[in-house]
Amino acid sequence: MTSRPSGRRASPAVCTADCIADSAGGITFDITGAARPDATLVLRRRAGHDDGVPGGEARGGEVRGGEARGGGDEVRLPLTGPAVTGAGRSRLRAVLPSTVELAEGHWDVFTGASGGLPVRPGIRDVRALIDRVPGAGPVAARVPYPTADGRLALRTWLRAPHAEAGTVRCEPAGMSVEGVLYGAELGEHARAEARLRGGGRTHRVAVTGRGGVFAFTLPYGPLAANEPGERSGPGERSGPGEQGGPGRDRRHWDLWLLPAPGAAGIRVSRILDDIWDKRAIHVYPAHGVSAPHGTDGWLAAPGYTHDNDFCVRLDPAPVPAAPVPTSTR
Other CB atoms within a 10 A radius of the CB of residue 225 amount to: 18
Nearest to 180, CA basis, from 133, 128, 135: 133
Task: Name the percent of the chain in helix, strand, coil, to the closest 5.
Answer: 0, 45, 50
Mean pLDDT of 34-51: 73
Q: Which of 98-102, 184-188, 199-203, 290-294 has the lowest mean pLDDT?
A: 290-294
Measured between alpha carbons, how far is residue 71 from residues 59, 86, 317 in Å?
A: 7, 38, 49
Mean pLDDT of 23-50: 82
- What is the structure's pLDDT at 205? 98
pLDDT score of 187 more than 50: yes
For residue 292, is the peptide bond before it cis, meaning its omega torsion is within 30 degrees of 0?
A: yes
Mean pLDDT of 23-36: 85
Mean pLDDT of the chain: 81
Mean pLDDT of 30-46: 82
pLDDT score of 7 more than 60: no
- What is the structure's pLDDT at 152? 97
pLDDT score of 223 more than 90: yes
- What is the structure's pLDDT at 227? 64
> What are 71-102's pLDDT values in tens digits?
489 999 998 876 555 555 668 999 999 999 99
- What is the structure's pLDDT at 81? 75
Other CB atoms within a 10 A radius of the CB of residue 236 amount to: 13
Strands 61-64 and 74-78, by their bridges, are parallel
> What are 264-322's pLDDT values in tens digits?
999 999 999 999 999 999 999 999 987 554 456 899 999 999 999 999 999 988 766 56
Q: Report d(CA 104, CA 309) in Å as an integer.
A: 13
Nearest to 253, CA basis, from 301, 190, 207: 301
Mean pLDDT of 64-71: 36
Residue, of 12 and 266, whose pLDDT is higher: 266
Could you tell me the pTM of the whole model?
Answer: 0.79
- What is the structure's pLDDT at 327? 61
- What is the structure's pLDDT at 47? 85
Mean pLDDT of 173-198: 95
Element (H, E) at 105: strand 105-111
Q: Is the dihedral of CA 231, 232, 238, 243 positive or negative?
A: negative
* Phi and psi torsions of 222, nearest 5°: -65, -25
Strands 162-171 and 266-269, by their bridges, are parallel
Q: Note whether 178 and 166 are within 8 A (CB).
A: yes
> What are 96-122's pLDDT values in tens digits?
999 999 999 999 999 877 778 899 999
pLDDT band, residue 157 (cuts 50/70/90): very high
Q: Report d(CA 263, CA 41) in Å as an integer.
A: 41
